[in-house]
């Protein structure tokens, strides 16, 4: 029986930061763990999540604000499953309006439905300012997970990756970040890097990351990279503490 439920909102405000990739990875992660999960694609321009998830629901986010039946739909899904909502970019105002007008967080608290906001960042100042605003407004009424997308860092030369890491160390030492981490309102996680050529192969094939591990139409080394990618983001998602302890079987990541 599914042990986890809740509403997981995946955004990033800026276009191109990788929010759809993180949303797909979250869906794939939950499916791999054999938990009940429903993908909700609110980014209808691209519909990246719906293309790869057979049970995805298209829900135009621009129509969410003020329409209480839309909130009812998401709550019904999140009562017994993990509902993962992939937001369109530049949707901060719409998200806040929907949360406030529908009293989403109060209703979720009354019904025991956890709400998690996954904020995908490329490390730019504007991106980090947006997550600061979210945490300042909603505090510990919802859990915020800042996802550092390693796609935007270079591992060669080594100095480049050190600069990337140092940037996040400096960020984590900011007073408001330290306070939010202490209160449990904010959690930090690094999302692993998958090179664009491997991402494009998956997009063309129309499958999730874990499905590609065993697909023999991909070369051995390509499948190996998918395996390492899935193992890395599985470890990262468990590190948030939102999904309990990883099982002894290496988080049920398929191997080849």
Question: pLDDT 10s digit of each residue in the chain, 256 long?
Answer: 446 899 999 998 888 899 989 999 999 999 999 999 999 988 776 666 766 666 778 777 655 545 556 667 888 889 889 999 999 888 888 888 888 888 889 989 998 999 999 999 988 888 899 999 999 999 889 999 999 999 888 766 777 778 888 889 999 999 999 999 999 999 999 999 998 899 888 888 888 899 999 999 999 999 999 999 999 999 999 999 999 988 876 444 444 4
Residue 68 lies in a domain: yes
Q: What is the CATH number of the domain that holds 115?
A: 3.40.50.300
State the total domains in the chain: 1
Residue 87 lies in a domain: yes
Residue 149 lies in a domain: yes
Could you count the other beta carbons within 10 Å of the beta carbon of residue 56?
19
Residue 254 lies in a domain: no
Residue 245 lies in a domain: no
Domain containing 172 equals 6-196
């Amino acid at each position: 029986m599914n042990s986890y439920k809740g509403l997981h909102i995946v955004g990033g405000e800026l276009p191109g930061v990788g929010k759809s990739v993180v949303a797909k990875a979250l869906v794939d992660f939950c499916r791999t763990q054999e938990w009940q999960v429903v993908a909700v694609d609110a980014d209808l321009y691209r519909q990246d999540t719906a293309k790869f998830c057979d049970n995805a629901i298209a829900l135009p986010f621009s129509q969410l604000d003020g329409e209480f039946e839309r909130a009812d739909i998401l709550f019904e899904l999140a009562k017994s499953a993990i509902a993962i909502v992939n937001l369109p970019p530049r949707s901060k105002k719409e998200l806040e309006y929907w949360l406030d007008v529908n009293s989403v967080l109060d209703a979720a608290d009354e019904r025991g439905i956890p709400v998690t906001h996954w904020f995908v960042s490329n490390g730019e100042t504007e991106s980090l300012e947006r997550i600061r605003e979210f945490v300042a407004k909603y505090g510990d009424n919802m859990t915020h997970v800042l996802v550092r997308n390693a796609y935007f860092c270079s591992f060669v030369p080594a100095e480049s990756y050190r600069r990337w890491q140092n940037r996040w160390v400096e960020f984590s030492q900011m007073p408001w970040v330290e306070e939010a981490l202490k209160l449990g309102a904010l959690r930090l996680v690094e999302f692993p890097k998958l090179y664009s050529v491997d991402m494009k192969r998956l997009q063309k094939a129309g499958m999730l990351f874990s499905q590609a591990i065993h697909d023999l139409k991909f070369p051995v080394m390509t499948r190996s990279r998918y395996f390492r990618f899935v193992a890395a983001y599985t470890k990262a998602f468990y590190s948030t503490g939102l999904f309990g302890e990883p099982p002894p079987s290496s988080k049920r990541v398929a191997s080849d």
